[in-house]
Amino acid sequence: MITIAVTGEPASETRVALNPEMVKKLVGLGAAVKIVSGAGLRSRFLDDAYKAVGATIVGSAQEAASGADILLKVRRPALDEIQALPK
């Protein structure tokens, strides 16, 4: 199974890398999706919407990236997010 992480974006960015509909499709294909709590708020996607389609809500970017195969972002990832990814 592939694990996909989605972390928050800078305050100036209103988009999020995945919306709940895309999470539903990815989970349906067998992927695990971890999303940082509140990552979709500026795009008006609540954590409950992500949970309802099978995403796991986590508390930090490091927790999301830990063990992930892919990190999805709208903007360039921060160095600490990259360092949290497995080698």
Phi, psi (degrees; rounded to nearest 5) at 83: -70, -25
The confidence score (pLDDT) of residue 87 equals 81
The confidence score (pLDDT) of residue 86 equals 87
For residue 53, what is the DSSP state? T
The confidence score (pLDDT) of residue 21 equals 98
Burial class (CB in 10 A: 0-12, 13-18, 19+), 34: buried
For residue 36, what is the DSSP state? E
Task: Give the type of residue at 34.
Answer: K
| Cα–Cα distance list, 70 to 12, 33, 42, 48 (Å) | 23, 10, 22, 22
Between CA 54 and CA 56 the distance in angstroms is 7
Task: Give the type of residue at 27.
Answer: V
The per-residue pLDDT string of the chain (87 residues; one tens digit each, 9 = 90 and over) reads: 999 999 999 999 999 999 999 999 999 999 999 999 999 999 999 999 999 999 999 999 999 999 999 999 999 999 989 998 988
The confidence score (pLDDT) of residue 17 equals 97
